Amino acid sequence: MKERILRGEAEEKDSDKLNDTLPFLGNRRSFHYTINMTKNMKRTSLIVADLALLGTTAIWGGTFVVMKQLTVEMTPVKILFWRFLFATLCLFFFSYRQKWGENIFRAGGILGITLFGGYFFQTWGLVYTTPAHSAFITGLSAILVPFFAVLILKSKTNLFTFLGVGVALGGLTLLTLPTLPTQTISSNAWKGDFLTLLGAGSYALQIVFVEKFRENDALPLVTMEMATASVLSGCLGRFAPHNFTLTWQEFVPLLFLGVVATALTFTVQKLAQKHTSATHAGLIFITEPVFAALFSYFFWQERFSSLTLIGCCLIGTGICFSQIAPFTLEVQFPQPSDRIPTLLNKGDR
């Protein structure tokens, strides 16, 4: 009888231990579930951000042909002034009720200066070069992003970046060579490519500063950015006589550039880069020259020599090399331990 009583007490203690353990195991399963759910949410957000940036890049790729056509009749300053003014008015309509802090004006001003520099040099360069050339040289901004990120964001660079720079410079050399052996390199072609390269540097700065200021509200930030670029365009136009009046034929493409290709796309960029890094965004922006070359081929009837194609491929390869290393490192999530802590008996608590 005594043994039965002792056995019963032992079974009761084991049952108490099991009842104490089950909630802990449930919490442990919940922790696993929470970690997996967090991973899935981050992965989904990254995919949506990537698709949004890819769509934005496709629109930007199509603007090279539109800008090239406009430079035939309009000056670069006039194009930029109306483009950024339309974008500012459109964005202000949606953002004026939101909170505008002091940091919005500072951050938007910096972004606006870099954005204006990129568009000004790129549009000026388009006067002398073709849409595809301009797009591939502009794509070099993805190579410059890691270097500017080291200086501004204190991030680290890698061997792949330097390898990418070397390959891309080789492609840039082939891209700027004359198409046929009997041709010579005109000063205008060199001028257009050099101006576009300056624009690529400004674009790289803009991408890095977007990551630096991504904690700010997207709509007020991009509104201030466009307003700054519009004011700079107007101020630059005061130094030389410019006719800022628009015809109906000029109004429609400029409205598209301002509302769709500027206001919409840069707002999407700000929102998407909240879920990804500047280097990751730079990798997606690699596709911009590809879209631009396709649009230029079908709508501008631009034809490419074998030397030009090799140069474009080398630039694309160099850009890819410069973006490889960041994707070899996976985001580390906290992992639960397989060890279960020893549970105290009720009498020991």
Q: Go through the chain and tell me how many residues it has.
A: 349
Can you read off the two tokens belonging to residue 250?
């000029």
Helices (H), the chain: 2-73, 76-95, 102-126, 131-138, 141-152, 159-175, 187-212, 218-237, 248-258, 265-272, 278-284, 287-299, 306-324
8-state DSSP, 217: -
pLDDT of res. 85: 94
**pLDDT in the model for residue 308:** 77
pLDDT of residue 178: 56
Question: What's the pTM?
Answer: 0.71
| Residues in contact with 98: Cβ distance below 8 Å, sequence separation at least 6, in sequence order | 217, 219, 220
Q: Which residues of the chain have pLDDT under 70?
A: 1-42, 175-187, 240-242, 279, 282, 322-349
Instruction: State both tokens at 248.
Output: 């109906």
- The 10s digit of each residue's pLDDT in 61-91 is 899 999 988 988 888 889 999 999 999 999 9
What pLDDT is stored for residue 106 in this prediction?
A: 92
Given this model, what pLDDT does residue 256 score?
94
Question: What are 121-160's pLDDT values in tens digits?
Answer: 999 999 888 888 888 888 888 778 888 888 898 877 777 7
Q: What pLDDT is recorded for position 269?
A: 84
The DSSP secondary-structure symbol of 348 reads G
pLDDT of residue 63: 92
